[in-house]
Amino acid sequence: MKVLTKNTDYAIRALLSLGSANGGYLSARSIAGEQDIPYQFLRRLLQEMIRHGLVVSKEGAGGGFMLARNPHDIRVRELIEIFQGRVQVSECLFRKQICANRARCVLRHEILRIEQVVEREFDNITIGKLLQDLEAANALNAHGCIPAAAAAGEDGALAGNGKDIKHETKGVTQA
């Protein structure tokens, strides 16, 4: 099960770059380079974010892309819904047909409850909060401190090199 698709991950990372620009315009090429996002892929994501009022663009010298809203008002849940639809743990489908047991399925009711919890949690995460977290992680790294979440791998073991830590502070969901 994927909670975040590549589209959503890249969109979040692009918004983090734009949020770090403090109200300035950034070119798609500079965002793509900074966040390791394929340029043409990023252009499509930025156009979608313009359509949803998250980003504005300006052509010409000094132009580029800029956040259209305060980063604290852009919720990760909104990005998930734009790029992947509602958060779903299970689709209650079998061979592209709605499950016949759907109406009386006890598990389905628990899954719906879990989906609501996950949606609320993603609703609490904003681009502004992620920018603050990124700033704090960068400050710790600058002082030689390694945040536990960035230093530990999936099995809890410490990362073998600083490359993993650098990538963690650069992206959102990359492990």
Q: What tokens were used for 82?
A: 């734009």
Determine contact, residues 49/42, Cβ cutoff 8 Å: no
| Lowest mean pLDDT segment, chosen from 42-51, 121-130, 155-164 | 155-164
| Distance, CA of 172 to CA of 175 (rounded, Å) | 9
pLDDT of residue 150: 53
Query: Does residue 100 sit within a domain?
Result: yes
Whether 72 and 99 share a structural domain: yes
Give the 3-state DSSP-derived string for 75-129, with helices as H, strands as E and coil as C.
Answer: EHHHHHHHHHCCCCCCCCEECCEECCCHHHCHHHHHHHHHHHHHHHHHHHCEHHH
Query: Does residue 17 sit within a domain?
Result: yes
The percent of residues above 90 in pLDDT, for the chain, comes to 54
Whether 65 and 150 share a structural domain: no
Whether 65 and 137 share a structural domain: no
Cα separation of the two ends of the chain? 16
Residue type, 122: F
Q: Is 169 helix (H, G, I), strand (E, B) or coil?
A: helix
Whether 118 and 157 share a structural domain: no
Q: Is 136 helix (H, G, I), strand (E, B) or coil?
A: helix
| Domain limits for position 48 | 6-127
Query: Does residue 1 sit within a domain?
Result: no
Residue 55: CB atoms within 10 Å = 22
| DSSP letter, residue 157 | P
In this model, does residue 55 exceed pLDDT 60?
yes
The DSSP bridge partners found for residue 64 are: 58
Q: Report the Cα 40 to chain-centroid distance in Å.
A: 18
pLDDT of residue 154: 46
* pTM for this model (two decimals): 0.75
Q: What total of structural domains would you count in the chain?
A: 2
